[in-house]
Amino acid sequence: MSVFLDGQPIPGETLTPDICVGQLIESTKERLRGTGVIIFSILCDGDEIPADRLEGTLSKPVSAFDRLELISGRPKELVLDALADTRRSFSDSFVTVKQAANDMTAGNLSKGMAGLIDCIGIWSSVHEVVVQGGTLVGVDFDNLTIDGRHILDWLKDLGTKLRDIKRAIESRDNVLLADMLRYEMDEMMQGWERMLDAFIEEVKQFDESAVNPSTPPVLATT
């Protein structure tokens, strides 16, 4: 059994035969307290643990794995990296959503739906990264205004649009769905590009020393 933090072995005296992954993480958090660093990812035998498997992994004994790695970093850097990746994916979805609408209009429903599902995943991730990343670095969501609109209105509108699309999918109204993608998404997406750019600049201005990362949960990246 080998246990590492950022490539460095964790001292053996902190490990007992029956310690579970969650206990190891808590003890490592204590070691990192006051450093401004958090644990954001776990690798078990080389595999990164996604969010939907995190709870089960935390309860397993460390001895269940040949190699366990904890990856840490500073919240502001992690959030900016996640926002940059999300921003690129969001821009890429412009082409995908237009192609999905064209495929549906042409009767190629399976291909169009596959493209749309990819877009929904990207848009949902954008919403999640803004909320979770902003919370992690201490964004004041109650008082933040971007491009003349309250941040919560931006988030609400994107959530509403996602629900509208999902309802159209569930009702199998492919004509409505194609029309929504063709005529309603451009304005929303262009607005969200501006919002993301402004939000990234907002995060860049945060004083990381004011962030309290001493007790955040592990963030499993996807």
- pTM score > 0.85 for this model? no
Architecture (CATH level 2) of domain 2-73: Roll (3.10)
CB atoms within 10 A of CB 175: 10
Q: What pLDDT, in 10s, does the model give residues 41-87? A: 889 898 888 777 888 888 898 888 899 999 888 888 889 999 999 99
Residue 105: is its pLDDT beyond 50?
yes
Name residues whose C-beta falls within 8 Å of residue 79's C-beta, 6 or more positions apart in sequence: 129, 133, 134, 136, 137, 203
- Sketch the domain layout of the chain as residue ranges: 2-73, 76-207
| Upper half-sphere CA count for residue 131 (Cβ side, 13 Å) | 13
> At CB < 8 A and 24+ separation, what contacts does 90-95 make?
90/122, 90/123, 90/126, 90/189, 90/192, 90/193, 90/196, 91/193, 92/122, 93/118, 93/119, 93/122, 93/123, 93/189, 94/189
Sheet of 8-9: strands edge to edge? 8-9, 2-5, 67-73, 38-44, 47-48
- Per residue in 133-185, pLDDT tens? 998 888 889 999 998 999 999 999 999 988 888 888 888 888 888 888 888 88
Helices (H), the chain: 21-32, 51-58, 75-105, 109-137, 151-170, 174-183, 185-204
The chain-wide mean pLDDT, for the chain, equals: 84
